[in-house]
Amino acid sequence: RAKQKSRGTISLYQPEMDQQIRDRRVLHQDLSMAIRNGELSLAFQPQAIAGHSVAESEIIGFEALARWQHPVRGQVSPAEFIPIAEESGLIVEMGEWILRQVCREAASWPKPLQVAVNLSPAQFMHGDVVGLVHSILLETGLAPGRLELEITEGVLIGDFDRGLALLRRLKALGVRISMDDFGSGYSSLSYLQAFPFDKIKIDRAFVINLGRNPQSAAIVRAVIDLGHGLEMSIIAEGVETLDQLTFLAKEGCDGVQGYLLGKPLPIGQYAGLVGRAETMELALKTG
Ligand code: C2E
Ligand code: MG
Ligand code: MG
Ligand code: MG
């Protein structure tokens, strides 16, 4: 639409850009009230051991994903609001809220499943992330070994020494660290060598193309070998088809996550998996 209007000129892009900036400004104002107004929530997406069928892929944990129900716009994607929260510094308060909710929630599950939460660069590099994780673990009583922190490689690009020191201190608390979206950014193998990750999450982009192009299969295979060589476990994101699952299981990928196993949903929808049996029957009947 924008292209048609502005064919051959540059200045006509301007109104659209202004609109985008205005949009962001308004979203930012709204976002600053979202926590207090109870508009933020969490969705949980299952993570399973890669098996040769869905039934054989045992669910061992969840990734928590932030959701924002805007009063007028409806659901706003975290891909849109997390960057706004980052730029404005709101992410520090929001990230703390998210981490506390996630740990509280997981601590309440009858089954001691794993839970993963995303940390954004600003949260990692500016706030006292170690102190925060430590105090929230104490406050909620969640066993540190059940918590995994997902970071993207972008987090570590700025200050290598500080990044390494933070990761070591976090690991000393007993939590695990995974590298999210591996292969999607400036992934450098030296990062894998230098930083003590427990897990590599292969980016969805490679999983989508499994079976479509041989290069993706080669890359996925290589990342699995590489990760195992470094004593890291490997989970593939965005697994949507049985073919993808069986390929990954056959290649020795440890974990899988994706719509095939389950979409990100309010935890009530997974009550049975976390050990709240009565509620699950209800969810099955109504869902
Ligand atoms: P991510 O951490 O890589 O999360 C995976 C994204 O892939 C999620 O999108 C999830 O809904 C989506 N996904 C999972 N399985 C499939 C699949 O089979 N097919 C497809 N097409 N998509 C799948 P979502 O929830 O929109 O989150 C987007 C990104 O926003 C996340 O990417 C993460 O970087 C960020 N994010 C989400 N929640 C938080 C949070 O609480 N804190 C921070 N800092 N970032 C968050
Ligand atoms: Mg993630
Ligand atoms: Mg990811
Ligand atoms: Mg992603």
Cβ(167)–Cβ(196) under 8 Å?
A: yes
Q: Which of 68, 105, 118 to mutate to test the pocket of ligand 1 (most atoms within 8 A of CB)?
A: 118
User: Is 82's C-beta closer than 6 angstroms to any atom of ligand 1?
Assistant: yes
The dihedral built from the CA positions of residue 266, 272, 275 and 278, taken in this order, carries a sign that is positive
User: Is 66's C-beta closer than 6 angstroms to any atom of ligand 1?
Assistant: yes
- When pLDDT is cut at 50, 70 and 90, the band that residue 3 belongs to is very low
User: Is 258's C-beta closer than 6 angstroms to any atom of ligand 1?
Assistant: yes
Which atom of ligand 1 has the smallest separation from the CA of 123?
44
More confident residue, 194 or 106: 106
The CA-atom distances, in angstroms, between 43 and each of 46, 102, 107 are: 10, 10, 16
CA-nearest residue for atom 44, ligand 1, is: 120
User: Is 272's C-beta closer than 6 angstroms to any atom of ligand 1?
Assistant: no
The percent of residues in the chain predicted with pLDDT above 70, rounded, is 91
The percent of residues in the chain predicted with pLDDT above 90, rounded, is 71
CA-nearest residue for atom 42, ligand 1, is: 118
Hey, what are 214's tokens? 């041989």
Among the listed residues 151, 105, 97, the one whose alpha carbon sits nearest the alpha carbon of residue 125: 151
- Say how many Å lie between the CA of residue 286 and the centre of ligand 3: 30
- Say how many Å lie between the CA of residue 201 and the centre of ligand 4: 9
- When pLDDT is cut at 50, 70 and 90, the band that residue 185 belongs to is confident
- When pLDDT is cut at 50, 70 and 90, the band that residue 281 belongs to is low
Q: What pLDDT was estimated at residue 212?
A: 85
pTM, to two decimals: 0.91
pLDDT, tens digit, 9 for 90 and up, residues 231-257: 999 999 999 999 999 999 999 999 999
**Dist. CA 238–CA 116, nearest whole Å:** 16
pLDDT, tens digit, 9 for 90 and up, residues 104-137: 999 999 999 999 999 998 888 777 999 999 999 9
Which atom of ligand 1 has the smallest separation from the CA of 85?
44
Q: What pLDDT was estimated at residue 6?
A: 46
**Dist. CA 240–CA 58, nearest whole Å:** 16
Hey, what are 197's tokens? 């990750």
Q: Determine the average pLDDT of the residues in 154-183.
A: 91
Cβ(93)–Cβ(123) under 8 Å?
A: no
Give the side-chain half-sphere CA count within 13 A for 54: 11
pLDDT, tens digit, 9 for 90 and up, residues 134-155: 999 999 999 999 999 999 888 8
Its ipTM equals 0.98
pLDDT for residue 205 is more than 70: yes
Q: Which listed ligand is nearest to 238 at the C-alpha?
A: 1
Q: What pLDDT was estimated at residue 28?
A: 86
pLDDT, tens digit, 9 for 90 and up, residues 48-79: 999 999 999 999 999 999 999 999 999 999 99
